[in-house]
Structure 1
Amino acid sequence: MAGLCIAIVGAESTGKSRLAQDLALRLAADTGLRCTFVPEYLRDWCERAGRTPRADEQAAIARVQLELIDAARITHDVVIADTTPLMTAVYSRLLFDDASLLPGALEAQRRCALTLLTALDLPWVADGLQRDGAHVQAPVDAALRQALIRSQLSWAVIAGQGQDRLEAALTAVTPLLTPQVKAGQGLFTRLQARQDALPSQAWICRDCDVPECEHASLQRTRGRESAGSPGFDT
């Protein structure tokens, strides 16, 4: 049986890679489950090629990313994916006006138990060939939200500085992992305590990056969205 996949997506310089590593390590320690993270294949590709990929190279990058995730799921209980083909599809649409990868990317995203969207609350940091600048964060973030909402995928916004960001991610994934940890064990007790501590109701606004607040608002908005194409507008 394939392991549980938790995907992390988000605009550049929003802490995806660090969160993926930290979350996998913390879950392994807290649950005793076989946990790992799958790094972003694009980073390795750019380092080897010495450049960013062309439009005609996007599909292959998305395919390899998915293959790495699927391979990890065979030998692990929980896999944290540092990006998925959805990120490649979004950038292909924004950079090359090519939306052809989006349907397949969203279908692959449905195989993830949960998608974590990293919020735009961290300072932008340059990172070689992979990052264009802070000006691309908002369009990428908006495109991801629109795709997730219209496709009715299960997702949560992850915000916060330092340890708070990891804690927000743990809060989001705990309901998925509790059934996999045996009752009566200390690990189960810690997970259940975290879940019981969550607020039963949350104040809702439309303009912040507090996960419990913002996602509830977006879920409500989703009900008013068209049930048509899973694509997004720019």
Structure 2
Amino acid sequence: MKIAILGAECSGKSTLSQALLAPLATFYPEVTVIDEYLRTWCNAHGRPPQVDEQAHVAHTQAQRIQQATAACVVADTTPLITAVYSDVLFNDPTLYPEAIAFQRTLDVTLVMGLDVAWVADGIQRDGLAIRQRIDARLREVLLAHKVPFASVYGQSSQRTEAALTAITHASTKHHAPQDSGQPWVWVCDTCSDAACEHRLFSRLTQSSMGR
């Protein structure tokens, strides 16, 4: 099982990746998290990568995910995030084909909502406006290429529970017969409106708590 956690900067990807370790370990004999290589690159170079360095970041992240041998792999970001940033920041869409192809090899794609506070983090973050643009573009790309994904909202344990519910739902669909219907989508497969998705997720959460 390979689970991808995607999202713009400061959207809770790393926090959720670590939070999923313990609960997933009850289902899989070994669970590992593949950290975001971009952070390692930025710390080593003292700056974010430029347009001609983006492909290296994307390829290294993909390689690390591919080489993981644990029964369950949680990837804190995939090459698709690098491709989206290259598009939005440098107007360079050339990384999309490989990134989309790689994304399709993964079992579950979770997209983080923007309902967590933005916190400055030195050289790796560009600000609230960029975070919103990246989030919107990421959803547009996933929907345009019909890559199934689940939007995850909530604070702390609520977000972890929401992610686990989406993983369970997605893995059930993933292992269903091929003629069982359309690819899974957790909250919204017709638009990239995060606010719309958040409203629906809130209703589902309230309904679940009421039972």
Name the residue aligned to 2:206.
Answer: none
Identity between Structure 1 and Structure 2 (%): 46
Instruction: Give deviations 1:16-40, integer Å, cap 9, x for gaps.
Output: 0110111123201x21431111000
Name the residue aligned to 2:178.
Answer: none
Q: TM-score w.r.t. structure 1 length?
A: 0.74
Name the residue aligned to 1:137.
Answer: 131
Matched, 1:210 2:198: yes
Q: Secondary structure at the match of 1:210?
A: helix
Contact 1:27 1:35 in 2 (8 A): yes
CA RMSD, Structure 1 to Structure 2 (Å):
2.4
Contact 1:157 1:211 in 2 (8 A): no
Name the residue aligned to 1:49.
Answer: 45
Shift of 1:212: 5.5
Name the residue aligned to 2:22.
Answer: 25
Instruction: Give deviations 1:208-234, integer Å, cap 9, x for gaps.
Output: 4438649xxxxxxxxxxxxxxxxxxxx
Distance 1:20 1:119, change over 3 A: same
Misfit runs of 4+, over 4 Å: 176-179, 211-214
Q: Secondary structure at the match of 1:37?
A: strand
Aligned-partner residue type, residue 18 of structure 1? T
Distance 1:129 1:100 in 2: 24
Aligned-partner residue type, residue 2 of structure 2? C
Contact 2:152 2:162 in 1 (8 A): yes
Aligned-partner residue type, residue 12 of structure 1? E
- The equivalent position to 1:66 in structure 2, one of 62, 71, 84, is 62
Q: Is the deviation greater in 79-88 or in 15-24?
A: 15-24
Q: Secondary structure at the match of 1:161?
A: coil
Please, which runs of 5 or more residues in structure 1 have no aligned partner?
Answer: 180-200, 215-234
Name the residue aligned to 2:155.
Answer: 161
Shift of 1:42: 0.2
Greater Rg by CA = 1
Distance 1:177 1:27, change over 3 A: farther
Matched, 1:121 2:115: yes
Name the residue aligned to 2:11.
Answer: 14
Distance 1:98 1:32, change over 3 A: closer
Contact 1:16 1:118 in 2 (8 A): yes
Name the residue aligned to 2:141.
Answer: 147
